[in-house]
Amino acid sequence: MKKFSTAASVLALAAALQAHAADTPPGGRCAFLPNAPDQHTVVRGDTLWGISGKFLQHAWCWPEVWGMNKEEIRNPHWIYPGQIVYLDRAAGKLRLGKPVGGNAGADDGAAGGVRTVRLSPQLRTEGLGQQAVPSIPSRVIEPFLSQPLIVEEGQLQSAPRIIATQEGRVNIGKNDKAYVRGDLAAGTSFQVFRPGVPLKDPVTGKVLAYEAAYLGTVKLERAARDADEAHVFNVVEAKQEIGVGDRLIPMPPTPILNYVPHPPETAASGRIVSVYGGVSQAGQNQIVSINLGKKDGMDLGTVLQLYRYGGVVRDRTNSGAWGGLPFTGEKVKLPDTEYGTLFVFRVFDNVSYGLVMEVTDAVQVGDVARSPE
């Protein structure tokens, strides 16, 4: 790949130093790859995580090396296909540029006719950035942004409930009717849930919360006219079979996928509670829950490192066969082994859901999830 000319590098560095004197090259956990390219042209299908992974040893570090402050992380700007990401090696930062006037042969003071600016993508409000490059593969987590549902014990008891099904069927599916009792609070679109399994802390065994199983969606067809009459609903989508006793929760608003990866503000360490779907292990782009929530400082976009928990063994080498010393069998903790990254995208009080990223081993219940080092 063609490198910057000396003149272009000097001009880019001078502009960066003038506008951002406080910029310093990243190091340690946010170091650049030794074979990082000089530039990358953004194309449709890219993610910010993927683009940054071409330059950085840890892709989640991109807000730091792009110079984003906390406010920009909370309300991120966007980049779009056609823009160019440059590695400013002198300043140790990534920059954003675009061809001037669409003419590849134009010259605006920099070689190659490219104008470089600080990588703070222009904010576009139209369409809520629908054409913008997302932070992570949004299609993977979209189904999980509104389901499954974490509830406290007894929380679903007061929710509207299905009391009968069309023609008395045991289970109903798409386009079938369901008869419901309960206060709809003027709502018309609902998700259907069934009380699920308890999520237990793998260390203490304490029940952290309950995971309600998502069954599908229903839409109000006719509201009850009297207090002793049932509401009539039509099943719009059925992910699983729906039946008598299942509960209705109002449909949540469509989420905006503008997460920016960042480490937790304070050191955090937890464990994997479960792998979504009832399987024993998780791999790339699968969903897991952890025993850390809002009370532990988790928020949308929190990044944690995954470790295989190192067990405790007895030291059996200090026996009498070695110098006549008495055998003590001391307990020794083996070090945890890092093998991946977790991207938190949904947070409850005591539990959070995360997307498994960049793993070299399978994720298991009990594995450690803690602040990046």
Q: Can you list the domains of the chain with their CATH numbers?
A: 6-140 (no CATH), 149-250 (no CATH), 269-370 (2.40.10.410)
pLDDT at residue 319 in the model: 59
Query: In terms of Cα–Cα distance, which of 327, 303, 307, 309 is closest to 317?
Result: 327
Query: In terms of Cα–Cα distance, which of 117, 140, 127, 128 is closest to 47?
Result: 140
Query: In terms of Cα–Cα distance, which of 272, 282, 279, 302 is closest to 371?
Result: 302
Other CB atoms within 10 A of residue 42 CB: 20
| Distance separating alpha carbons of residues 63 and 78, to the nearest angstrom | 12
Residue 245: partners with Cβ closer than 8 Å, 6 or more residues away: 161, 162, 194
- Residues 131-154 as b or e (16 or more Cβ within 10 Å = b): ebbbbbbeeebeeeebbbbbbeee
Q: Which conformational region is residue 208 in: left (phi greater than 0), alpha (psi within -120 to 50 degrees), or beta?
A: alpha
3-class SS at 49?
Answer: helix
The H or E element that residue 52 is part of is helix 48-53
For the chain, 373 residues long, the average pLDDT of each consecutive 10-residue run is 33 32 48 88 82 83 68 60 83 69 38 43 40 68 70 80 91 93 93 87 89 90 92 93 92 66 88 84 87 92 90 74 60 89 89 88 92 86
Q: What are phi and psi of 138, to 5 degrees?
A: -60, -30
Whether the bond between 148 and the residue before it is cis, its omega within 30 degrees of 0, is yes
| Distance separating alpha carbons of residues 175 and 166, to the nearest angstrom | 10
pLDDT at residue 29 in the model: 65
**Token couple for 123:** 């904010």
pLDDT at residue 217 in the model: 93
Other CB atoms within 10 A of residue 45 CB: 10
Note whether 38 and 32 are within 8 A (CB): no
SS (H, E, C) 152-186: CCCCCCCCCEEEEEHHHCCCECCCCEEEEECCCCC
| Distance separating alpha carbons of residues 158 and 160, to the nearest angstrom | 7
SS (H, E, C) 56-70: ECCHHHHHHHCCCCH
Q: Which conformational region is residue 25 in: left (phi greater than 0), alpha (psi within -120 to 50 degrees), or beta?
A: beta
Residue type, 132: A
